[in-house]
Amino acid sequence: MKLEELYDRYGEKLYHYLTIKLASAEDAEDILQEVFLRLARYSIRWKFIRNEEPYFFRVARNEANRFLKRKHQDEINPQNAPALAQVINDSIITDCPDRSDKESLSLALARLPEEQREVIVLKFFEELTLKEIAAACDLSVNTVASRYRYALAKLKSLLEAKDD
């Protein structure tokens, strides 16, 4: 698979995932380059991988974690939630005419714990199944399912709190 083909299949999803994970479109672009270079370097391994998509997300996730570690920032600072909410707001679209709906969701997503936000982003925006998310995050399916349920409940409460 050539790099262009790789981009056509997964580039946009990976870029979106990295943008939210790193809370920065510029950093996401840099890390996406690293991910693609890494994938190109070890392209011989692709033949032995049954399900490519979770594998590529796993490479992207590891690369992003390494980047955050280098920056001594293992997790997005909760105090930076408004900045992250802005990044999320810029990176999603909706058919819903009410703009405040999107802003509320962005803020609620930004306030979620990182591991729960990651599951929601991968499930709804990158369209991965829970099994694929488990493979991408190196977790058991049960752990991912539990994080997913907790995330939905927390999102609901955050959105309701906003409405009140």
Partner 1 sequence: MTDSEKEMESYLSRFRRRLPPPGFKEQLLRHLEERRKLERAMTPAMWKIAFTCLALIVIFLGANVFINRTEGRHLSALLNIKPTTETGIVQEDMPFIQAEIQELASLEKSLQILKGLSNQKYEARKRSIKDYFNLLNMKEEFNGS
User: Which two structure tokens, joined as six digits, stand for 48?
Assistant: 């032995």
Distance in angstroms (rounded) separating the CA atoms of residues 124 and 65 = 21
Q: Could you tell me if 155 and 140 are in contact, meaning their C-beta atoms sit under 8 angstroms apart?
A: no
Question: Is residue 91 involved in binding partner 1 (CB under 8 A)?
Answer: yes
Provide φ and ψ at 127, rounded to 5°: 55, 45
Question: Is residue 42 involved in binding partner 1 (CB under 8 A)?
Answer: no
Question: Is residue 161 involved in binding partner 1 (CB under 8 A)?
Answer: no
Minimum CB distance to partner 1, residue 29 (Å): 7
Amino acid at 111: R
Minimum CB distance to partner 1, residue 50 (Å): 25
Amino acid at 142: N
SS3 call for 49 = coil
Question: Is residue 126 involved in binding partner 1 (CB under 8 A)?
Answer: yes
Question: Is residue 92 involved in binding partner 1 (CB under 8 A)?
Answer: yes
Q: What is the CA radius of gyration of the chain?
A: 16
Residues 43-82 that bind partner 1 (CB under 8 A): none
Question: Is residue 38 involved in binding partner 1 (CB under 8 A)?
Answer: no
Minimum CB distance to partner 1, residue 68 (Å): 21
Distance in angstroms (rounded) separating the CA atoms of residues 26 and 98 = 28
Residues that bind partner 1 in the complex, under the rule CB under 8 A:
3-4, 7, 11-13, 15-16, 29, 32-33, 36-37, 40-41, 90-96, 102, 105, 120, 124-126, 149, 152-153, 155-156
